[in-house]
Structure 1
Amino acid sequence: MEVVKLWNDKREREMYENFAELYAIIKATEKLEKAYIRDIITPSNYETECHKLIAHFKTLSSTLKDTVPSIERFADVYKMDCPAAINRLLVSGVPATVEHRATASVTSSASAAVVAECVQNFITAMDSLKLNMVAVDQVFPLLSDLSSSLNKLSILPPDFEGKTKMKDWIGRLSKMGASDELTEQQARQLHFDLESSYNSFMAALPHAGN
């Protein structure tokens, strides 16, 4: 039997792998939306998972902007039939709970939209490192956006782990050239700091009203 190759080189293989990931994100979002509508999943769990999918989608769609200029066209070509996912990912951009101000874990002193922004900035930064986007001019804006969104939340203390760590990293990056790249060790440490700060951030939200 003749072996049929799906790609001709590493770059083409990576493109198809990204296509598969984009397909999976859209399908997963559609299933999540339906589960939420049918009360199969709690609003809290829905919101957490939806934030992750939206952030993954934003990172990946930005990476694929040249090869996939239209997500709607991509969904049409692969006959996906995922209207709820397309609306959530492209039109709304935030979970239904945030859109309808139904977040139970955030007090009136904190904007649900800012919380959503923080989560998306955390995950976008972590995803970018996984995609080997380690140049200073790629990493700096992501950390700057994250730091800015964290500082908007009055429920977080000034010495919150995420704030101090991002400030340290921004200071470190500002001393480097735009085209300089993080070493493998630096990238690994930054990802660890982001993940640790993200976990602390999520843990802080349920106690915001205390």
Structure 2
Amino acid sequence: MQAQRQLPYAPTPYIPRAALSATINLDEEAKLSTTSAERDLYDSLAEIYSIVVTLDALEKAYLKDSIPESEYTETCSRLLKQYKSNLANETVARAFSDLETFKREWDMECPRATERLRVGIPATVEQPSHKPATQGSDADATLVVAATENFITLLDAIKIGLVEKDTLHPLLVEIIQAVNKVTDKDFESKGKIVQWLITLNQMRAAEKLADDQAREFQFDMEQAYYGFKATLKRD
């Protein structure tokens, strides 16, 4: 009889133990969080995900002219506000890191939403998408005065040292909205207004412009103000 081949190891026989029992209930829902703080964090991150996806779809609809401008502006403004509100929480902001990191982690492709979040204002505010109600010498005096006052308010704020993001950004949004109601023409340094909107949008609310930034910002806004007034004179 052929000798039985010796196994290279001695297998341990399985001996069932009556005392062993399942510690996981397969019918029980798995929970991502164990505390209310964790649950709030995951809820906020899920809301940010939803905002980015919705914003991307909104931008596509606007480009296809599938949504009225007024509805687009209102919805876009609300989504941008909700996005910023969620990230105002320091815990959420740390977990979120930044938009590009968040997109990579969740395998998101939302280029239009990314650009809109980078700019921080609706496309209808960034650039006039329609001819303003008034133009040139017939421009409504009220709109011109409002735009002029917005420029002066912003420049005064810079001169007295109010250079925090949460002070300058709203004033700059008011300026771009006001000038777009008066004219749809480009003027000197108008592009600087949008560039500074983007710069301020990347800053935290209480963050300030550095001294050299504040001087450059003041110079650019003065040039934009003069350019705006020159456009009215040429029309």
So what's the TM-score if we normalise by structure 2?
0.45
Structure showing greater radius of gyration is 2
So what's the TM-score if we normalise by structure 1?
0.50
Structure with the larger helix share: 1
